[in-house]
Amino acid sequence: VTIEVEIDGRRRQVTLRRQGSRWVAALDGREIAVSVVERGDHWSMLVNPAEAGLHDLSRISSEVESGFSRISREEVESGSSRISREVESGSSRISREVESGFSRISREVESGFSRISYEVSFEAGANGDLIVHVNGVAVPVTIVDRRRRRAGSGEAGSDTQPRTIVAPMPGRIVRVLVQPGEAVEARQGLVVVEAMKMENELRAPRSGTVAEVRVREGASVEANAVLVVLR
């Protein structure tokens, strides 16, 4: 099965297949082995790029295994390669990204490339988005296929799907910052609502065009009232 997932405005294709108790996920053509165990609402995911050959590990792993216990942070930073974030020496973990001269390793790398453990849980976001919590960090994504199915017709692609901006709580509209037909960038302010004695700016969740503005300045709104519709 192939599923399209939108993240940060980019579409990524994931092809999944079962391999015994595990999954092999091909992410934009690169394969990753994944083991999933469900504990109530939380998943434990063990991710193994090595087994599925995500990176050219034969060339990198020996260097990493032999190298990092000896290479100090300064040496690495000043050399041809670059290490962002912390590198701990010895057998402990190397956190975050390591860019080497060969290829980019984009995940936590444990010495010897054994399985990397992630805690994952899911939450429904606004507008049918899915918020994936990975190690306590919220990452919003959209399942493109699912949205098509919900729309009930094949031609309703994600780009034409309207997006509504709703009032998060009862309040009063202080300012309307956009007009119908206006193009907006992601995170651009749309409407200022006063609630809980604070002025709050509601921003565009993504770029698009303002299809409708359903409120006027000075109006009182109930929670979940639709304020602006994006196209």
Partner 1 sequence: LRKILVANRGEIAVRVIRACRDLRLASVAVYSDCDRGARHVRMADEAVAIGGSPPADSYLRIDRIIDAARASGADAVHPGYGFLAENEAFAGACRDAGLTFIGPTPEAIALMGSKTAARQAAAAAGVAVVPGTDAPLGGSVTDDEIAGLADRTGYPVMVKAVAGGGGKGMRVAGERAELASAVRAARSEAGAAFGDSAIYLERRLTRPRHVEVQVLGDQHGGVLPFVERECSIQRRHQKVVEESPSPVVAADLRTRMTSAAASVAASVGYTNAGTVEFLLDADGRFYFLEMNTRLQVEHPITEMVTGIDLVEWQIRIARGERLTIDPARALSPAGHAIECRVYAEDPDSGFMPSPGRVTALRVPGGPGIRDDGGLEAGDEVPIYYDALISKLVAWGEDRQQAVVRMRRALAEYEVQGIRTTVPFFRWLLDNPAFRDAAFHTEFLDTLLQQRRGTAFFEPDSSLQEVAVVAAAIHASREPRPVAAVSASDTWARQAKVESLRG
State the burial class of residue 68 (Cβ atoms within 10 Å of its Cβ: 0-12, 13-18, 19+).
Answer: buried
Distance of alpha carbon 31 from the chain centroid: 19
Shorter beta-carbon distance to partner 1: residue 161 or 200:
200
Binding mask 24-63 for partner 1 (x = CB under 8 A): -x-x----x-x-x----x-x-x-x----------------
Q: Does 121 bind partner 1 (CB under 8 A)?
A: yes
Region near partner 1 per CB under 8 A, out of 57-65, 73-81, 199-207, 213-221? 199-207
Shorter beta-carbon distance to partner 1: residue 181 or 207:
207
- Measured from the Cβ of residue 52, the count of other Cβ atoms closer than 10 Å reads 20
Task: Report the number of secondary-structure helices (H) and strands (E) in the chain.
Answer: 3, 19
Q: Does 74 bind partner 1 (CB under 8 A)?
A: no
Q: How far is residue 49 from each of residues 16, 35, 58, 68, measured CA to CA in Å?
A: 15, 12, 12, 19
Q: Does 146 bind partner 1 (CB under 8 A)?
A: yes
Chain positions 161 to 190 lying near partner 1, rule: CB under 8 A, are 168-170, 187
- Give the integer Cα–Cα distance in Å for 223 and 44: 35
Q: Does 206 bind partner 1 (CB under 8 A)?
A: no
